[in-house]
Structure 1
Amino acid sequence: MDESIGDILLRWMSEVGSGTIVNLRARIEWMCRTVNLDLPAHASGRWLKDMSSLGHCELDWDAGRWAIAPAAVVALPGGDGLAVLAGRRRLRAVRALSDAEIWIEEARRESGSDEVPAPKTLYAPFSAAQELIDVAHVAEATNAGLSCDRIARSLVPTKPVLPTGPPAYGSALEKLGALFPREWQVVRPTQLKPPPGLYREKVNGRWRHLTRRDDEWFTCDLSAGVFAELVRRNESAIRWRPEPGRQVADTGTVFVDWGAPLPALHSRALALCTGFPPRFGAVAATAIFDNVPRTVAARVCTSLGQTLAVE
């Protein structure tokens, strides 16, 4: 299968190991221009979030740093003996698998016209546990087992709990109005007794998110703030639909409204059910994750303060 920009970038990241997000995004955008891909400014950030969801890298947006994740062999739920290779993807590891005559299947989900192409997904079929151990050994990777379930079990509530001071009087301040689509409304930092809700304040050119509850301010990231606001408004942004044609379906599809960005680990728990980044439904404005066990979807929802809606 031909290499895409995503494949080249992942291999480069695997060799370099870590760096700044600013420099990496500049490299992504430069590579896209070399093949005449004119993408929106947010495309490189979305690609990085997808790479994190797939377990290829870790992102620290506050510190502005990225780091490649250790190589891992991850079993897929209900995959009838199918695992995916995640994390560091050095060329020598791929060649070692070929030299050992270990069959690796390549697949790719087509990227949208406004997306940076994703790297191909590498699948390792197996019929026994020992075969999965052998793949991990040859690829110099960790045998991570059923990561989607392990990550889902480890998720903790995302409710903002860290108190903070009120917005500065001279800062630019906005309050979240509509959620779907997400809209912000300009408000005055000097307003007496601001109403509860999610706010963002511009500090040194960057947005800082904070929520107001019971006359107190709490700092948070955008994702935690949005889901806390959904809880306050008694609204839901996540739905699960069982696979059609099965009387007792324990796997299905998860739909997440675009206005509700999932935290990194929650997104990873869902993406590692297939080894693909989410599909995006333009009509319904949703991110779509396939092959998700109901138990995994339920744990993701619970940690976000949501009740799983089953369609």
Structure 2
Amino acid sequence: MDADLMLAWMSETGEGDIWDLRQRVAWLARNADLNPQPFETGRWLRDMTALAHVEVDWVGGRWAMAPAVAVLLPSCGGTTVLAGCRRLGLVEELGDLLSVQKIPCAASDSRLKTPTQVYLQLDTINDLIEGLSTCGIDYGGRAAHHIADRLSPLRLGEPAAPPAYAAPVKHLQLDGALRFVDGRLTSQSGLCQISVQGRPSYLYRNGDEWFHTVHADGVLWALAENGIEVFRWRFERVDGDDEMGTLFVDQGAPLPPLQARALVLCSGQPPAFGELAKTAIYRNVSRSVADQVARSVRQRLTPIT
């Protein structure tokens, strides 16, 4: 799929309806002899959000392009990655002023490709900022650290009524790969999936109380309540005051948008996925960012060798 073409169209359009965008993504994928399922176009849009290209209001059903910004990658010798709106001709303009390297996003074969990432460099940060400003691009600094510093602790939503007696319900099963299975909960707590106007909606049961939640928050809350740890970090090198390494998130556990963005903006690449173990792999992640992300979702960071 030509994701660069889709990003260009989105940048020119600016904003729109999520359902319409996903239909366009599916059409473009079919032109490349792919036949994406609906969940794949949703996952592609979440990847675009983690890459800081687009902001998404899933409840309101709207998307909007983020402003063009160059984000400094941690421990990468002053390299920045271009995120947000990418109007036609922008990369060529940048090439006249800065050192530009274009690298395809390293997505697995089972995921729709995201756009080529554009990495920018110059001798000094001040010269880099001046060149970016000439092209109308903001300098975002150490965005991964800034986002991680401001993450709010994971919480459930507002109190809710239990599912209607006759309504079809699925519940999250935690043994092995995370998946929803038909049937109501057999315990006093857990995450349920129901359908509201044809769309999945999520409720969390805690004893006799029920709460609204969203998919990622509900899954992570259930993992924490059951003492299941899914964050592992492997040390690779030291840079200044920080340790750098690779973060593994096991069992395909989803992350909220800001947590995913903090990790992705450490490398400028979406996570790789271990298909057998269903593990998300985030590279060039500093220990401090990994710790902050893990704590924000009630997880403990487990070092591995």
Q: TM-score, normalised by structure 1?
A: 0.91
Indicate how the Cα distance of structure 1 residues 164 and 41 shifts in structure 2: closer, same or farther if over 3 A, else same.
closer
CA distance in 2, matches of 1:160, 1:16: 34
SS of equivalent residue, structure 2 residue 93:
helix
Q: Is the Cα contact below 8 Å between 1:175 and 1:200 reproduced in 2?
A: yes
Indicate how the Cα distance of structure 1 residues 179 and 14 shifts in structure 2: closer, same or farther if over 3 A, else same.
farther
1:129 matched to 2:125: yes
Deviations, residues 225-274 of structure 1 (Å, cap 9, x unaligned)? 1111111101111111111699x970100111243100010000000001
Alignment of 1:70-219 (within 5 A): 70-99=67-96, 101-178=97-174, 180-188=176-184, 195-219=188-212
User: Once structures 1 and 2 are overlaid, which stretch shifts more, 105-114 or 216-225?
Assistant: 105-114
SS of equivalent residue, structure 1 residue 67:
strand
Q: Is the Cα contact below 8 Å between 2:233 and 2:248 reproduced in 1?
A: yes
Q: CA RMSD in A?
A: 2.1
Deviations, residues 91-116 of structure 1 (Å, cap 9, x unaligned)? 243232234x3221111134433322
CA shift at 1:159, angstroms? 2.0
Alignment of 1:202-281 (within 5 A): 202-243=195-236, 250-281=243-274
Aligned to 1:44: 41
CA distance in 2, matches of 1:220, 1:30: 31
CA distance in 2, matches of 1:196, 1:7: 44
Amino acid at match of 2:235: P
Amino acid at match of 2:191: L
CA shift at 1:136, angstroms? 2.4
Indicate how the Cα distance of structure 1 residues 13 and 229 shifts in structure 2: closer, same or farther if over 3 A, else same.
same
Aligned to 1:59: 56
CA distance in 1, matches of 2:61, 2:102: 32
Q: 1:8 aligns with which of 5, 12, 16?
A: 5
The runs of 5 or more residues in structure 2 that have no matched partner are none
Amino acid at match of 1:213: N
CA shift at 1:310, angstroms? 0.9
Amino acid at match of 2:27: W
Amino acid at match of 1:199: C
Q: Is the Cα contact below 8 Å between 1:107 and 1:120 reproduced in 2?
A: yes
CA distance in 2, matches of 1:91, 1:167: 48
CA distance in 1, matches of 2:37, 2:181: 24
The runs of 5 or more residues in structure 1 that have no matched partner are none
Amino acid at match of 1:43: E
Amino acid at match of 1:122: V
Q: TM-score, normalised by structure 2?
A: 0.93
* Percent identity for Structure 1 against Structure 2: 38
User: Any runs of at least 4 consecutive aligned residues in structure 1 with deviations exceeding 4 A, and if so which?
Assistant: none
CA distance in 2, matches of 1:35, 1:300: 36
